[in-house]
Amino acid sequence: MKILLAALLFAAGSALAGTVGQPAPEFTLADVSGKPVKLSDFRGRYVVLEWVNPECPYVEKHYGSANMQGLQKEFTSKNSVWLAINSTREGHYEYYPPQKMAGWMKEVGGAPSATLLDPTGKVGRAYQARTTPHMYIVDPKGVLVYAGGIDDKRSTSKADVKTAKNYVRAAMGEALAGKPISAASTAPYGCSIKY
Amino acid sequence: MAAQAAPVRTEQVEAELVAERSTPEPGKPFTVALRLKAIDGWHTYWRNPGDSGQPTSIQWQLPPGYRAGPLQWPVPEKLPIGPLANYGYEGEVLLLTDIAVPSGARAPARIAAHAKWLVCNPERCIPQEADLVLDPGGAPRAQQIAFTREALPESARTGWSLTASGAAGGVGLEIAPPADFRAKTLHYFPYDEGKVQHAAAQRLEQRDAGLRLFIPAAAQPLGAFDRLHGLLVADGVRGFEIDVPVRGAVVAAPAGAAGASLGFIAALALAFAGGLILNLMPCVLPVLSIKVLSFARGRDARAMRVHGLFYGAGVLASFLALAGLLIGLKAAGTAVGWGFQLQSPVFVALLAVLFLALALNLSGAFEFASLVPARLANASAAYPHADAFLTGVLAVVVASPCTVPFMGAAIGYALTESALVALAVFAALGIGMAVPYVLLAFEPRWLRRLPKPGPWMVSLKRWLALPLYATVGWLVWVLSIQVGFAGAPAAKSLWQPYSEARVAELVAQGKPVFVDFTAAWCVTCQVNKQLVLSRPETERAFAERGVRLLRADWTRQDPEITRALAALGRNGVPVYVLYRPGREPRLLPEILTREAVQAALAELST
């Protein structure tokens, strides 16, 4: 009986939303080659989560200007992990099957540690991801330390990338230097995620 | 794209500048509108686009001396997309700008602009832009512009009384509108992003002094939610601009508290387990065990089974009836929760009489047969199905004072979901409660280990009457509090009465707050109070951590407490919650232990 009660209590209390300062919701998703990738396998390193949808003009802004690829290369080279997640539902016409998603990432010269597919939207919803792009940073202990936008210029114009304040670069810079993150929650902007 | 006087057409949008007069007059304001007309199913955005999207923007190119004012945004629509929501305009919208024309201006003037907008349907978004110029030869649109201006949001400063205070999971806005104000719906559209959970429904309640709108806060808020600045939109069309400071802090809803976070299957399982446990409660056990013992007398097996099934049907029907009543009351806008029956002194009095009759009966003070006319007494023999069914109903009635752990979470969940889901959860509760009895009716062999019926059963009955007498005493005590003979239990100075505002105020001061949601009629609450909360060591532990103690007494109807429970994803008492400044509140188990309290307090310093 006691075990049953404990199990039921656990079931009732286990649903946690992605909130800065709280443990990041755990997930396992298949990457574009079908290999399962588990968030907690990266304990000990910073993990950047990027919500992506190749069909979105705001995503196109940051890949077309090589901004996103630059960030991916910069931080994966500093022993951090970068997971690009596509939560577009299967059946939506913007949905990219694994091969197509892999092809697109290769074509644009993207360099994330892994490109993950979340066609049920379960992980996107757990993080309350709303837009593409929507960015998160998980610290080495598994705590969510940043949630929000990629930068402060809400537009689809590639020219704005140069003059914008890049929140992810700033947050990762502070985090890797052992400083507290000054802007830990910012407004994400972009296309809505096609749940 | 070259500047065009004619409308610019994209695949989704027709865009142009239109004016109220064909030419500006010197020294007079001149209103020009950016007219965007999206094809069916597509929309453009308001100044705050909501969860995604982009507000329309305009850069004016005007002759020297002309000055453009800000864009004047008509009342937006809330556009839900899956779990998200946007604010914008479907179809046609006119965004007005007042242009100050210098007194020495000479016609004709070239009024031009570069406009950018994002046009979306629920599936797709396309950023677009155009260079537009006002066509001096174009037909003036005085009427359409006047109409748009008329429908612009007005200031809610005069005649409105608004106060906002932080609460669990959001902000409560108390609204006393002007006397002639009538609206079926009200919705708050924030100017700022990142404060409000855009997709969430905002609950509107009628109150004595006016209305109250509960605005759920964003799960991931940007900065402090210390101001309501935006539009109150009545019936989807009339907008009133408000700017109200929020008193007290918004306390995050505890993780996993939102009803929806408990899955349907988990809620069914919890309800089923809760139903099973109900059988063991002191108010139910004596009544049922006597019934079960009679199984051992070995009646005709088939008759027993039918009896069991009718009993189960009685339990199930009672729970479904209760569910229907709750759903109906909620739909009618009454703030009720589980245990609402016991908030009625009449019901408590009837219950006390019923328990007294049962107890006296068990003690052998009288047999029902000697009190009721023979015809009625024989009825139970003549209509065994009705008798079994009514036993089921009785079991549910006597069980109602005992809210069991898990029932709180499951019922809280049920009542935030659709009526069908609620009925399913209550059915699971009923099945859980009926199962042991029905099984024993089908397999009376399991009772064979019991000694043969004999005098021992009479003494057992006498003993079983004791918890029933205790229940009577306790119901009388509840009744005396409800009707005001006895004051509420002498409140020690340690505990203060609960109010939403008080919680928000204390949390804003950086103080942790423990709230005991309780009621005199709730057995579990009383047990927890005696065994845990009133113990000196617990009180000392609270004092050491500087925790303020508030007691929310739900013995009688109290909409504020009902609402606070709902914000915690619950619908009944007991609920114990520790509000922690800067962190989400922590819910403690319904069966409280000193260890659980200590553990929660220890977390305060981590």
pLDDT in tens, B264-292: 787 788 888 888 888 887 777 877 777 77
Would you call A16 an interface residue with chain B, using a CB distance cutoff of 8 Å? yes
Mean pLDDT of B292-306: 73
What pLDDT score was predicted for residue B444? 74
- Of all residues in chain A, the one with the smallest CA distance to B49 is A189
Question: In terms of pLDDT, which residue wins out, B295 or A73?
Answer: A73
pLDDT mean across residues, chain A: 88
Would you call B262 an interface residue with chain A, using a CB distance cutoff of 8 Å? yes
Residue numbers in A near B252 (CB within 8 A): 19
At B334, the pLDDT band (50, 70, 90 cuts) reads: low
Mark yes or no for CB contact B220/A8 under 8 Å.
no
d(CA A157, CA B95): 23
Q: Is residue A80 part of a domain?
A: yes
Instruction: Residue window 26-45, chain A: list those with CB within 8 Å of chain B.
Output: none
Would you call A141 an interface residue with chain B, using a CB distance cutoff of 8 Å? no
* Nearest CA distance, A86 vs chain B (angstrom): 15
Mean pLDDT of A62-75: 96
> Two tokens at B184?
């079926």
What dotted CATH number matches B8-151?
2.60.40.1250
CA-nearest of B162, B174, B178 to B238 is B178
The partner residue sitting opposite A57, judged by closest CB among B123, B126, B270, is B126
Mark yes or no for CB contact B219/A19 under 8 Å.
yes
In words, the CATH class of domain B495-603 is alpha beta
Q: Which residues contact B98 (CB under 8 A, 6 or more apart)?
A: B29, B30, B31, B68, B69, B72
Residue B382 buriedness (CB in 10 A; 0-12 / 13-18 / 19+): exposed
CA-nearest of A79, A135, A84 to A114 is A84
d(CA B352, CA B177): 45
Long-range contacts of A143-146 (CB under 8 A, 24+ apart): A143/A21, A143/A22, A143/A23, A143/A24, A144/A18, A144/A19, A144/A20, A144/A21, A144/A22, A144/A23, A144/A24, A145/A20, A145/A21, A145/A171, A145/A175, A145/A181, A145/A184, A146/A20, A146/A171, A146/A175, A146/A181, A146/A184, A146/A185
At B402, the pLDDT band (50, 70, 90 cuts) reads: low
Q: What angle do CA B57, B60, B64 make, to 5 degrees?
A: 160
How many helices (H) and strands (E) in chain A?
7, 9
* Domain residue ranges in chain B: 8-151, 161-247, 259-482, 495-603
Mean pLDDT of A143-159: 93
Q: Is residue A82 part of a domain?
A: yes
Would you call B221 an interface residue with chain A, using a CB distance cutoff of 8 Å? yes
Mark yes or no for CB contact B125/A5 under 8 Å.
no
At A6, the pLDDT band (50, 70, 90 cuts) reads: very low
**In this structure, which amino acid lies at residue A124?**
G
Mark yes or no for CB contact B222/A148 under 8 Å.
yes
Three-class secondary structure of residue A15 per DSSP:
coil
What pLDDT score was predicted for residue B255? 45
Mark yes or no for CB contact B54/A128 under 8 Å.
no
Q: Which domain holds residue A100?
A: 20-192
B8-151 with B495-603: one CATH topology? Answer: no
For chain B, what percentages of helix, strand and coil (3-state, to nearest 5) are there? 40, 25, 35
Q: How many domains does chain A have?
A: 1
């609206």: which residue's tokens? B183
Would you call B261 an interface residue with chain A, using a CB distance cutoff of 8 Å? yes
Lowest-confidence segment of A136-150, B124-138, B197-211, B380-394 by average pLDDT? B380-394
Mark yes or no for CB contact A15/B256 under 8 Å.
yes
Would you call A181 an interface residue with chain B, using a CB distance cutoff of 8 Å? no
At A12, the pLDDT band (50, 70, 90 cuts) reads: very low
Q: Is residue A74 part of a domain?
A: yes
d(CA B176, CA B183): 12
Radius of gyration of chain B (CA): 32
Residue numbers in B near A19 (CB within 8 A): 219-220, 252, 255, 584
- Of all residues in chain B, the one with the smallest CA distance to A155 is B54
pLDDT mean across residues, chain B: 82
Would you call A152 an interface residue with chain B, using a CB distance cutoff of 8 Å? no
Q: Contact at 8 Å (CB) between B221 and B196? A: no
Question: In terms of pLDDT, which residue wins out, B255 or B576?
Answer: B576
Task: Kindly tell me if the per-residue pLDDT of A15 is higher than 50.
Answer: no
The DSSP bridge partners found for residue A191 are A132
Mark yes or no for CB contact B256/A13 under 8 Å.
yes
Mark yes or no for CB contact A9/B589 under 8 Å.
yes
> Two tokens at A80?
């951090």
What pLDDT score was predicted for residue B259? 39
At B1, the pLDDT band (50, 70, 90 cuts) reads: very low
Q: Is residue A8 part of a domain?
A: no
Mark yes or no for CB contact A12/B409 under 8 Å.
yes
* Nearest CA distance, A129 vs chain B (angstrom): 10
pLDDT in tens, B531-546: 888 888 888 899 888 8
Residue numbers in B near A147 (CB within 8 A): 220
Q: Is residue A2 part of a domain?
A: no
CATH of the domain at A107: 3.40.30.10
